[in-house]
Amino acid sequence: MPANTTASAEKKVRKKKGRRARLILIVLVLALVAGVGYGAYWGVSTVRASFPQTTGSIQLKGLTGNSVEVKRDDYGVPQVYADNDTDLFMAQGFVQAQDRFWEMDVRRHMTSGRLSEMFGKDQVETDAFLRTLGWRKVAQREYDTKLSPQTKKYLQAYAAGVNAYLEGKGPKDISVEYAALDFVHDYKIEKWTPVDSVAWLKAMAWDLRGNMQDEIDRSLMTSRLTPKQIKDLYPPYPTATHRPIVDEGSVNKITGKYDPSREPGTGTGTGAGSSIQGATQGAQAQLARLSDSLDKIPALLGPNGSGIGSNSWVVSGKYTTTGMPLLANDPHLAPMMPSLWYQMGLHCRTVSASCGYDVAGYTFSGMPGVIIGHNQDISWGFTNLGADVTDLYLEKISPGGTYLVDNQQKPLATREEVIKVAGGKSKTITVRETNNGPLVSDRNDELEKVGKKAPVATSAPDRGEGYAVALKWTALEPGKSMDAVFELDRAKDFKSFRAAAKDFEVPSQNLIYADTKGHIGYQAPGKIPVRAKGFDGTVPAPGWDSKYNWKGSIPFEQLPYELDPKRGYIVTANQAVVDEKKYPYLLTKDWGYGTRSQRINDLIESKTKGGGKVSTEDMQKMQMDNSSEIAALLTPALLKVDVPDPAVREAQKLLEGWDYTQESDSGAAAYFNAVWRNVLKLAFGNKLPKELRVKDECLNVRPPASSGPVDDLNGLVRECGQRDADSAQPDGGDRWFEVVRRIFNDEKNEWWQTPKSRLDPATTTRDQLLARAMKDARWELTAKLGKDVSTWSWGQLHQLMLKNQTLGTDGPGIVQFLLNRGPWNLGGGEAAVNATGWNAGGGDYSVTWVPSMRMVVNLKDFDKSKWINLTGASGHAYSAHYSDQTGKWAKGEQLDWSFSAKAVGASTVDTLTLTK
């Protein structure tokens, strides 16, 4: 899964920049430590009261068949056995609520824009933005008009199971977080509804939406950089060195379908017109404020950017030790406590027309079915395709409530939303929409007006007080992705797998496939817009010109796919799906740059070269590969730089003989990554506009125009960054690898040139800049890790802290101790296969995204498959299964994955029977 989460290492469910509900935190501390007037026993009893019953029997009203069994292994992972579909999904709802209801409740309040009802006034701004997007309204429309009767039946059964768990329970019986919340205000837990489950798909789609942030960033760069410089920072995908997913095939013009064996055709992508660029420059303030608003939106999957993605690959039995396919997947998402994923098995005791499921894998608490995993016939994995499914439109709004389209005024669609606030007065907002979508620029009270001198094209309408910004997004139209989840879970072969993929419209994902008959395959699904000729979606479009409207979607039959390719394996890791020159549709201009995917390709080829075979253990080792592509490029040059300072030379020697692997105990990896961060800062970061640089980092600059305070040196202006650390640029992802690679041999390129500072002379060549970066890195790590370079290690810098999504993200240290876990010193890094990402622009090396789970599926014998979760099955802070998988995850270890009834029985330690 993906697809785009600072020292906190995660996007927070609650507003990041605002103050937290301190009272909640204080009460939690008092409740768990001092006892809140009832003694220490209150805290202990409250914590234990919410632990689920996992043995014996519980009556579950509404079951229609015989009893349901819930078998848990020694990691608390449940396997559910039932006689019919509705009982199966009802039990799934009950069990997930037992383990994770607080998490489920927070999620549904987030997707519906109702966080203020739980956490108070600090969340009003976030709720207003989410209400403007209207996720919940779209989910309701999906449920009412798009989903099949069978899917609705399953969603209703799941909701009934959740509500059966809630019935008769007080706050402290559900989770310790509710016990704390109950002291702040009279919060009432509502019943779960089917639409609560559907709405979660919108949160997934939001975090995997593609290039929206790049679209904003490119526009903001125009205030400081030339068009050529911006082009330098967004180089074309390196097809020659980083293989796309699909090597062959194209759309057959006769049949109108994608043919995997056909000779490639010709692509059609073209650049955006000048009128778009001019209009964008006239909306700098709106776009800057929009970017700031995006930072406040809960991004539960991770920071939107280079880290959002995943690895997946499948190897044909021709090249495996088992003689049957092996399939691996590890989605890169935000680290959080508990993990986003929930491991589970859903088994019909007898697979039949009335009970069609025998499936296990990873799902989300709050959603029925299994998202990634395998059934008795096939296995599948997800990575973020990265298709461009959003566009920002600049809109000319008139005071009378109209907007301009083709020289005509059209009325804005409006609706009022009432945001209820815990402990405060409700707030009413007005949502305005054009034909291109909701006006997202309305959601900031401090929107600046566009300056009178901001340039616009002569064809653009007079900007007056500035343009508004509308969001067009495929996920704002109802779809059938929930149908696809169940269709995948019961697919039998590649044909039924593709039929399921056709309904998986949003978010657009790469789907890989393997089956027990030995076939491997790939399908690119999703609702992907067709844009007008001349419009490539890289910058905001003029909403006043209808020729920039979308022209429909790419037909599913023309989306790329493969079945049993000759090379014998398929790798998807957010690289380009196809060479855009050989495909008639534009999927995006902003792919990941293929560093991870090419490394996986190379590892597979090196293993199979000369008749070698890939084992399950080999797949696991590949998932933990720490190799750094950018280190292989830069390190030889760094070692040649003449360094006069003996202290810097001492650090430089760490790189001698280094193999470019980023192990946790590597001093060389620590120093190299610090050098890399400083190279990026000097060559690029200090030249970016303040809207892209990390907040509170200030520079003396000479902007084109400014009214800021003047520094006493050379009349420069003091300018401070404005971006949150986990979305600041340059983030150090593999786009920046490609930027540097393309200029690396041009030793006098303008990007290597930096101005004189108080402590350093100006640089005019590459090696001068590298020398300065090496010096800066040496003293940075001296401050962080000490003077003795022999004690340095990458893991000391590159730490993972797992934090509770809500009450554990801020506040007194005791709260963090109670609810959070860590730190762990990790290897891996940005754009490594072991993608423990960090943001170079944020000034911190802490882990901001991780392989949120790992799995290797053995199609020869499912019981010999392996899996691991980031944390554990439970969301209860003091459960034995709160973080019992994390230690093994950090070491790259995986657990046995029981699937057959015999294997599950052998691994079962607790059995709960649900009865009528």
236-290 pLDDT, tens digit each: 999 999 999 998 888 988 888 999 987 655 554 433 333 444 455 556 666 666 6
What is the pLDDT at residue 868? 98
Q: Does 4 score more than 50 pLDDT?
A: no
> Which residues lie closer than 8 Å to 593 by C-beta, 6 or more apart?
237, 238, 242, 575, 733, 734, 735, 737, 738
Q: Which of 32-36, 193-197, 555-559 has the lowest mean pLDDT?
A: 32-36
Share of the chain above pLDDT 70, in %: 84
Over residues 370-386, the pLDDT tens digits come to 999 999 999 999 999 99
- pLDDT at residue 730, rounded to an integer: 96
**Distances in Å between the alpha carbon of 676 and those of 71, 270, 842?**
49, 33, 13
pLDDT band at 308 (very low <50, low <70, confident <90, very high): low
Mean pLDDT of 520-547: 92
Average pLDDT over residues 455-481: 77
Q: How far is CA 896 from the centre of its chain?
A: 27
Residue 659 in this model has a pLDDT that exceeds 90: yes
Provide, rounded to the nearest whole percent, the portion of the chain with pLDDT above 90.
Answer: 69
Tokens of 363: 């799902």
**Mean of all residue pLDDT scores within the chain:** 87
Give the position of tokens 């937290």.
20
Per-residue tokens: 357: 């499921």
Using omega within 30 degrees of 0 as the cis cutoff, is the peptide bond preceding 689 cis? no
From CA 309, how far away is CA 307, in angstroms rounded?
A: 6
Backbone angles phi, psi at 142, to 5 degrees: -60, -45
Nearest to 361 by CA among 351, 373, 369, 371: 373
Residue given tokens 């406590």 in the structure block: 337
* C-alpha to C-alpha distance for 344 and 339, rounded to whole angstroms: 14
The helix (run of H) or strand (run of E) holding residue 56 is strand 56-59
Reference 368, options 95, 70, 64; nearest CA is: 95
What's the rounded Cα separation, in Å, for the pair 470 and 549? 12
**CA torsion, points 569, 575, 580, 586, in degrees to nearest 10?**
120
| Tokens encoding 9 | 């290492």
Burial of 600 from C-beta contacts in 10 A (0-12 / 13-18 / 19+)? buried
Predicted confidence (pLDDT) at residue 710 exceeds the cutoff of 60: no
- Taking only the tens place, the pLDDT of each residue in 787-830 is 999 999 999 999 999 988 776 565 446 666 778 999 999 999 99
Reported as a single tens digit per residue, the pLDDT across 76-92 is 999 999 999 999 999 99
Residue 440, SS3?
Answer: helix
Maximum distance among all alpha carbons in the chain? 83
| pLDDT at residue 23 tops 70 | no
Top pLDDT among 77 and 440 is at 77
**Distances 698 to 239, 260, 314, 720, 826 between C-alpha atoms, Å:** 38, 52, 47, 4, 30
Exposed e or buried b for every residue in 760-797, given b needs 16+ CB within 10 A?
eeebeebebbbbbbbbbbbebbeeebeeebeebbbbbb
The length of the chain is: 916
Place of tokens 């939107």: 304
Look up residue 212 and give its two tokens.
């929206």
Query: Which residues are CB-contacts of 236 (< 8 A; sequence separation ≥ 6)?
Result: none
Q: One-letter amino acid identity for 206?
A: W
Residue 304 and residue 207: Cα distance in Å, rounded? 6
Determine if the peptide bond prior to 325 is cis (ω within 30°). Answer: no
Are 682 and 772 in contact, with CB atoms under 8 Å apart? yes
Considering only 345-349, 476-480, 564-568, 715-719, which range has the smallest mean pLDDT?
715-719
What are the structure tokens assigned to 347, written together?
Answer: 């088994």
Tokens (6 digits) for 117: 């009802």
Instruction: Report whether pLDDT(319) > 90.
Output: yes
Residue type, 433: E
Q: Which residues of 360-392 are buried (b: 16+ CB within 10 A; e: fewer)?
A: bbbbbbbbbbbbbbbbbbbbbbbbbbbbbbbbb
Residue pLDDT, tens place only, 727-768: 899 999 999 999 999 999 999 999 999 999 888 999 999 999
Q: What gap in Å lies between CA 333 and CA 316, rounded to an integer?
A: 27
Q: Which class for 613: exposed (0-12), middle (13-18), buried (19 or more C-beta within 10 A)?
A: middle
Q: Is the pLDDT of residue 413 over 90?
A: yes
pLDDT, greater one: 529 or 31: 529
Confidence of residue 435 (pLDDT cuts 50, 70, 90): very high
- Distance, CA of 425 to CA of 419 (rounded, Å): 9
pLDDT band per the 50, 70, 90 thresholds, residue 5? very low
Cβ proximity of 640 and 629 under 8 Å: no
Least confident of 14-28, 100-114, 160-174: 14-28
Q: What are phi and psi of 508, to 5 degrees?
A: -75, 120
Q: Which amino acid makes up residue 547?
A: K
Taking residues 843-866, report their average pLDDT: 96
- pLDDT value at position 726? 85
Residue 171 pLDDT: 82
The per-residue pLDDT for 42 is 43
Tokens standing for 409? 């005024």
What's 721's DSSP letter? B
User: How far is C-alpha 660 from the chain's CA centre?
Assistant: 27
Mean per-residue pLDDT, 843-851: 93
pLDDT recorded at residue 465: 63
Checking if the pLDDT of 301 tops 70, the result is no
For residues 23 and 180, give the distance between their C-alpha atoms in angstroms, rounded to a whole number: 10
